[in-house]
């Protein structure tokens, strides 16, 4: 993987909302309106984040009637990254932690 592509991938994962979306998609395909309810965010905000994740081929979607239901393209890689994030959450709060 080129370093530029890898940097874009990690930049996409560097936003808390995108990490939360990816975490929700880890175990199942989820439609946008379900993500909206789970994360308590506006649909337009969620769609912007999903568009970026889709552009980088991290997620994709299938239409279910008039709904778009998203899923992860490479669960194995994403799961490994989220495992690291979750271990960080379990440990002491970092002095570099920021509010979302």
At 62, which helix (H) or strand (E)?
strand 59-64
Structure-derived torsion over alpha carbons of residues 76, 79, 80, 85, reported in degrees to the nearest 10: 170
Q: State the DSSP string of 3-32.
A: HHHHHHHHHHTTSHHHHHHHHHHTSS-EEH
Q: What residue spans define the domains of the chain?
A: 3-90
The whole-number pLDDT of residue 75 equals 84
What's the pLDDT at 92? Answer: 55
Please determine, for residue 99, whether its predicted confidence score (pLDDT) is greater than 80. no
Say if pTM beats, i.e. exceeds, 0.85: no
| Topology of the domain covering 3-90 | Arc Repressor Mutant, subunit A (1.10.10)
């Amino acid at each position: 993987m080129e370093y530029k592509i890898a940097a874009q991938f990690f930049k996409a994962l560097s936003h808390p909302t995108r990490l939360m979306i990816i975490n929700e998609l880890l175990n199942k395909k989820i439609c946008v309106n379900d993500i909206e309810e789970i994360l308590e965010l506006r649909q337009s905000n969620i769609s912007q984040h999903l568009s970026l994740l889709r552009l980088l081929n991290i997620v994709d979607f299938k239409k279910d009637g008039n709904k778009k239901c998203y899923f992860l393209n490479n669960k194995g890689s994403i799961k490994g990254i989220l495992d690291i994030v979750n271990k960080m959450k379990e440990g002491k709060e970092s002095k570099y932690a920021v509010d979302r």
